[in-house]
Structure 1
Amino acid sequence: MSSYLRIDHIDKSFERGGVRTEVLKDITLTIDKGEFVSIIGHSGCGKSTLLNLIAGLTRVSAGAVLLENLEVNAPGPDRAVVFQNHSLLPWLTVYENVDLAVSKVFSGRKTKAEKHDWVMHNLDLVQMAHAKDKRPAEISGGMKQRVGIARALSMEPKVLLLDEPFGALDALTRAHLQDAVMEIHGRLGNTMIMITHDVDEAVLLSDRIVMMTNGPAARIGEILEVPIARPRNRIELASDRTYLKCREAVLKFLYERHRFVEAAE
């Protein structure tokens, strides 16, 4: 049985000045269609490198990334990335930033009216249609990130890749965006992979949490199932036993890894 997304015995090394650094070693992971998977681990464990390999932004050193049985070896609209930095073009409006992606991906496939409707549909998804004529300098950090998510979704990607998308935001804005992402995932049923340092965020959003060992030559240490029914309510989960048990398991893994780092210093 083939998986929707398969990361098959991936190795990744970088070489600079004749010095070779092994970042990831023998990473194997399968992800089902519609699944929300978080990847967590200490700094330097290769989380973002792994995301870049799935995105096709970086080539693997060994192994393969397969999406619907096709090898990933270059960037493509079937894998959209939302970075911690929103990456909006400051001279374009909110509408124009999303339209840029829509016009690129759907050139010759949608009429002008259809493209307009699709841009507005995706801005509606992230509750940003009201700000369509504003430029990035005129909106908040959380709003910019909503536009970045809308732009990524507008490409109709098979996999949405989130690289610490809420890391630069204040706690309240972060919580609102987490809720928005949960709602979008519930509505669209799309496949999402998120890099995070935040344990509570990982447990709240994920179906599974992939925990990485420390680098160099990081591997998958454990994979935790999060058996909490959707839709999820963060207030109700604060005292939920399953939520607390999952949170404890991730914290224990990360704490043990931190002890290993301290012992090596």
Structure 2
Amino acid sequence: MASAYLSIEQVGKSFTRGGSTTQVLADIDLKVGRGEYISIIGHSGCGKSTLLNIVAGLTPVSTGAVLLDNSEVNAPGPDRAVVFQNHSLLPWLTVYDNVRLAVDKVFRGRKSAAERHDWTMHNLDLVQMAHARTRRPSEISGGMKQRVGIARALAMEPKVLLLDEPFGALDALTRAHLQDSVMQIHASLGNTVMMITHDVDEAVLLSDRIVMMTNGPAARIGEILDVPLARPRERLDLVADPTYLRCRAAVLKFLYERHRLVEAA
């Protein structure tokens, strides 16, 4: 792995409500190389989204620290762009204007208006949504909305792209098309990606490494699995690939054992 570009160091997170404190995460240590694609997987309630929100700067750590490119993360910033399961587009703006808003916020004063227009269109082209630039979110499908959300995130030129179950609300075919698009974008841009998912096949298909979380409360990293599959990856070629099947079985075994622990508790 490359030297740590994103470093999560001894991170713990507790929430206090009504006088009682719950520890959600404990002693999370993770080093992510520049250009690496990392998936975080685990049962519901294991703190996956909390960890992503900490890296995004949306949730403060209780203990430990997050460093990105040698700078401490303690607030939201354009160097970390988040794509949520819910597309979170502004409904009164067109597809173009939803992306342009982010471009203007990050690049005003650094790019001219013409350059910002070109950059907006470039990112819509990346996700095959330039043709729908004048439509509003209510006029496009769920998969198209997610494409626009990804374009908006990429347009900020973030150091890390954070994906919180970005395909979870989509039908299987749309999900597959978007996974392929994200793989192509990652191959062309070489960006660093951290993705939360519940989907084992998705994690193996997209990732360089899969981080498997133990059950909460006080969830930790249970195992980290390398996915030594050559890129580019074609999903149909992987169906019978022994390395793919071995990785898939390893993640399923981990999750199944954690599920048994819950049932036994």
Bin the TM-score by the shorter chain.
over 0.9
Q: Distance in 1 between matches of 2:185 and 2:236?
A: 19
Identify unmatched segments of 5+ residues in structure 1. Answer: none
Q: Distance in 2 between matches of 1:159 and 1:3?
A: 13
Measure, in 1, the Cα distance between the counterparts of 2:244 and 2:192. Answer: 22
What is the deviation of 1:107? Answer: 1.0
Indicate whether 1:119 and 2:120 are aligned.
yes
- Structure 1 residue ranges, 4+ long, deviating more than 3 angstroms after superposition: none
TM-score, normalised by the number of residues in structure 1 = 0.99
Q: Give deviations 1:236-259, integer Å, cap 9, x for gaps.
A: 000100000000000000000000
Q: Deviations over 1:209-255 (max 9, x none)?
A: 00000000000000000000000000000010000000000000000
Alignment partner, residue 177 of structure 2: 176
Q: Tell me what 1:144 maps to.
A: 145
The answer as to 2:202 corresponding to 1:192 is no
2:24 maps to 1:28: no
Provide the aligned length of Structure 1 versus Structure 2.
264
> Equivalent residue for 1:210?
211
Residues of 1 paired with 2:3 and 2:184: CA distance? Answer: 28
The 5 A counterparts of 1:201-240 are 201-240=202-241
The equivalent residue for 1:37 is 38
Report if the CA contact (8 A) 1:2-1:69 is conserved: no
Give the conservation status (yes or no) of the 8 Å contact 2:3–2:33: no
* Identity across the alignment (%): 79
SS of 1:217's partner is coil
* Distance in 2 separating the partners of 1:41 and 1:207: 17
C-alpha displacement of 1:68? 1.0
Structure 2 Cα separation of the partners of residues 256 and 41 of structure 1: 11
Report if aligned partners of 1:142, 1:174 keep a CA contact under 8 Å in 2.
yes
Offset from partner CA, 1:120-171 (integer Å, 9 cap, x none): 0000000000000000000000000000000000000000000000000000
Q: Give the Å deviation of 1:115.
A: 0.2
Summarize the alignment of residues 153-172 of structure 1 with structure 2, pairs less than 5 Å apart. Answer: 153-172=154-173
Letter of the 2:42 partner, please give it: G
Alignment of 1:51-62 (within 5 A): 51-62=52-63
Q: Partner of 1:4: helix, strand, or coil?
A: strand
Local SS of the residue matching 1:247: helix
Amino acid at match of 1:167: G
Does residue 64 (structure 1) correspond to residue 60 (structure 2)? The answer is no
How far, CA to CA, are the matches of 1:2 and 1:239 in structure 2?
A: 33
Counterpart-to-counterpart distance in 1, 2:46 and 2:219 = 6
Letter in 2 for 1:159: V
Letter in 2 for 1:156: E
Distance 1:135 1:60 in 2: 37
How far off its partner does 1:69 sit?
1.1
Task: For 1:115 and 1:41, locate their aligned partners in 2 and report how far apart those are by CA, in whole Å.
Answer: 39
- Which sections of structure 2, spanning at least 5 residues, go unmatched? none
Q: How many angstroms apart in 2 are the aligned matches of 1:2 and 1:248?
A: 29
Q: Please, what is the CA RMSD of the aligned residues?
A: 0.7
TM-score (norm 2): 0.99
Q: Secondary structure at the match of 2:247?
A: helix
1:128 aligns with 2:129: yes
Contact map agreement 1:86 1:144 (CA 8 A) in 2: yes
Displacement of 1:3 in angstroms is 1.6
